[in-house]
Chains A and B, each alone.
Chain A
Amino acid sequence: MVISKKPLHFIVATLVAFLPLVTVANPTNDTTAVAHTSVATETATEHHEGESKDLKTEIKEFINHHLQDSYDFHLFSYEDDAKVEHHIGFPLPVILWDNGLQLFSSSKFHHGESAAESNGNYYRLFHGKIYKVANADEQVAVDAKHHATNEKPFDFSITKNVFMMLVVSIIMFLLFTSLAKSYAKNGGIAKGAGRFFEPIILYIRDDIAIPNIGKNYKKYMSYLLTIFFFVWFLNIFGLTPLGVNVTGNIAITAGLALITYLITTFTANKNYWGHIFWMPGVPAPMKLVLAPIELLGTIIKPFSLMIRLYANIVAGHVVLMSIIGLMFIFKNWLGSSLSFVLAFALSLLEILVAALQAYIFTMLSALYFGAANEEHHHDDAHH
């Protein structure tokens, strides 16, 4: 029974691995079609080179656009026969604080082509950020370095990333409350999805929390489980055709790392602070030298958590999309098959990385909590 399920699991895993191909393939596919027709009409070779350069910048822009947060949930675009671009997706609410609450739909921006009006104020999109403009026709002013000089209102919008985080929170809430109910009903025996999640939860408790934190592990379990599944689900969502890049946004990983830092700082016992400000067992001059280093270390630890998760996810997405982009640069059977095989292998690797980064984040958080909770029972060791 168990063995017969293996092919099914393999097929599901393969499908998930292929999903990123679909995301990236859709929009760029149309541009190559356009490039092909224009190349066919113009036989001059230098024109062809210019065309391929445009394609390269287009791929670069597409990747940059993917890495950024956006105000609407954009699924894909296509050009119809009359060369009119259609964007498929849905708008998200924009919430600004600018002399009172300004609430309007991001569809008012028309994908950055026009200014949105709200209570007599006008706002315009510029490189994915909202700026205030004086009237409907005014453009965002830029300085010599191409940075916008207009005023930026306080932005509390439900952007694509915020939307995906809400979706994942709802999924997690429904999933784990229903799991808890099924455990209560079946007398503590796992059933359905519980059979998949029980080993993971037990692993986090028995192999991450207890060895690293010790006897106080219980009060940290809720945070460790939440952070593990939150990061893991968001990483997996980043590999689906939805094209979201939540954990690859440094603001979000900074937020997660900040929570770890605050929990470490506020649950630390006196031994932890003792080891930071007045390291026992070393000569007095060394204590003075060590104190600032240790104090800096408390900030570097969550900082490295932030950078690690962000950089891993961004690097994975960029490499994956660049490899898929090779297909549109080569435009022959060799490039296509090479890019296909590489993208397939890399997608499988990315599924591993998605779980691994969630594990590392949880593991290191547990390690820091453990350091903050260590009891001082090795008095003899400091002589």
Chain B
Amino acid sequence: MQIPTIVGAGLIVIGAGLGIGKIGGSAMDAIARQPEASGKIQTAMLIAAALIEGIGFAALFAS
């Protein structure tokens, strides 16, 4: 039986969602520990989240 590509895309989106969630959670932890560095942490968080998001979208459009 052939597995439809949309299933693979769904798996990748689950992975991307988990990844972005992990980044957000860790950034929250980091900001709670060091509130004065929140600006730098946010920047780094957004870049990492954007890079993962790119993979998620690539999967969506490939399916």
Contact = CB atoms under 8 A, between A and B. Distances in A.
B61 A308 contact: no
Interface string A156-187: 00000000000000000000000000000000
B57 A363 contact: no
Nearest to B47: A363
A364 to B, nearest CB: 7
Nearest to B49: A360
Contact of A207 (B43, B47, B54, B58): B43
Interface string A309-341: 001100100000000000000000000000000
Interface in B42-56: 43, 46-47, 50-51, 53-54
Nearest to B56: A311
A307 interface: yes
A308 B43 contact: no
B13 to A, nearest CB: 11
Contacts of A304: 51, 54, 58
Contact of B57 (A308, A360, A364, A367): A308
Nearest to A250: B61
Nearest to A300: B54
B61 A311 contact: yes
A254 B40 CA distance: 29
Interface residues of B, number: 12
Contact of B58 (A307, A312, A356, A364): A307
A311 B51 contact: no
A207 B57 contact: no
Given A207-B39, A207-B43, A364 B61 contact: no
Contact of A356 (B43, B46, B54, B57): B46
A376 to B, nearest CB: 24
B23 interface: no
Contacts of B50: 308, 360, 363-364
Contacts of B28: none
A312 B58 CA distance: 11
B47 A364 contact: yes
B57 A307 contact: yes
Contacts of B46: 356, 359-360, 363
A367 B51 CA distance: 12
B12 interface: no
A360 B60 CA distance: 20
Contact of B54 (A307, A359, A367): A307
Contacts of A207: 39, 43
A364 B43 CA distance: 11
Contacts of B57: 307-308, 311-312, 315
A353 B39 CA distance: 19
Given A304-B51, A360-B46, A367-B47, A311 B39 contact: no
Interface in A359-383: 359-360, 363-364, 367
Contacts of B53: 308, 312
30 contacts: A207-B39, A207-B43, A304-B51, A304-B54, A307-B54, A307-B57, A307-B61, A308-B50, A308-B53, A308-B54, A308-B57, A311-B57, A311-B60, A311-B61, A312-B53, A312-B57, A315-B57, A315-B60, A356-B46, A359-B46, A360-B46, A360-B47, A360-B50, A363-B43, A363-B46, A363-B47, A363-B50, A364-B47, A364-B50, A367-B47
Which 7 pairs across A and B sit closest by C-beta, in order of nearness? Answer: A311-B57, A304-B54, A360-B50, A308-B54, A307-B57, A307-B58, A307-B54
